[in-house]
Amino acid sequence: MKILGVLSCGRVFVVLLLLERILMKKMTYLLFAATVFVASCKKDPETPPPTPETPTAKVKFTNATVNSGTLGVKVNDVAVTDAQSLNFLTSTGYLKTTYGAGTKVSFVYPNTGSIFKEMTMDLTASSSYSAFVGGELPTDISMIIINDDLTVPPSGKAKVRFVNLSVDNLNMSFFIGGPKLDSNIAYKAFTPFREINSGAQNVLVQDPANPGYYQTINAQQFTAGKIYTIVLTGKSGGTGDATPKLTLINNN
């Protein structure tokens, strides 16, 4: 009987040891689970908001000067990297530039940096402009900067304007597809963007006082949603680059 009692106590002791180990393992699992839970509840570090883009003005540069050769551009005496190889009747895209009151815009000879033509204008942040240098060397060089309204035209429409950079100094009328859009457009003057129907249409500029003087672009394709500028260069009786010519520029 005593032996049986001892064995019973031993078994009880073994059972207690097993229970203790089981409880310890459970406590370990519970502590681990609690640690994971608490860690999962920690707030992830917030991603800092993106740095807002510094406002700039955007300018599209066009060389429309007869006999100018290749030109570059500076804004406030700093070279505009993507505007250093402007041949006659070529344009850049809209390039980001500095802005502010009295911003100096200069067309220059890229090899020497010397000034070809320059002017100052108040450029506004987040606005778009077109800068043209026109006329003819050596007699007359002109420069204009236009604040561009690049609002997309309504469905099925395009927008177009006319810039007169011909040294003939005629007062031109501007026609697209028949209807007259503007009149009395003198040298260095320009029209607003006008809405027109999309599709193939003829372009005509003519001086009413000189009916024999006119320039045309036949069956020009105007794409819906697009914005265009038509520039007149050259002079009556001119040859080579000085031949009167209409050039179409895409603005978007």
Give per-residue pLDDT as tens, 214-226: 999 999 999 999 9
Residue 13 pLDDT: 46
User: Domain residue spans in the chain?
Assistant: 54-148, 149-252
Q: Residue 71 gets which letter from DSSP?
A: B
Amino acid at 203: V
Adjacent-strand bridge partners of 162: 230
- Alpha helices (H) along the chain: 2-41
Q: Looking at the predicted structure, is the pLDDT value of residue 3 above 50?
A: no
Stretch 188-196: mean pLDDT: 97
Residue 24 pLDDT: 60
Domain spanning 54-148 has what CATH number?
Answer: 2.60.40
**Judging by DSSP bridges, how do beta strands 227-233 and 199-207 pair with one another?**
unpaired
Residue 7 pLDDT: 46
**The pair of three-digit structure tokens given for residue 222, joined into one six-digit string:** 């105007």
Amino acid at 109: Y
CATH architecture of the domain with range 149-252: Sandwich (2.60)
Model pLDDT for residues 142-169, shown as the tens digit of each residue: 999 999 999 999 999 999 999 999 999 8
- 8 Å CB contact between 133 and 149: no
**The pair of three-digit structure tokens given for residue 141, joined into one six-digit string:** 């060089």
- Considering only 31-40, 58-67, 101-110, 214-223, which range has the smallest mean pLDDT? 31-40
- The total of other beta-carbon atoms located within 10 Å of residue 158's CB is 23
**The domains spanning 54-148 and 149-252 adopt the same CATH topology:** yes
Cis bond before residue 138 (omega within 30° of 0): yes
Model pLDDT for residues 73-118, shown as the tens digit of each residue: 999 999 999 999 999 999 999 999 999 999 999 999 999 999 999 9
- What percent of the chain clears pLDDT 90, i.e. is strictly above it? 74
Percent of residues in the chain assigned helix, strand, coil, to nearest 5? 15, 50, 35
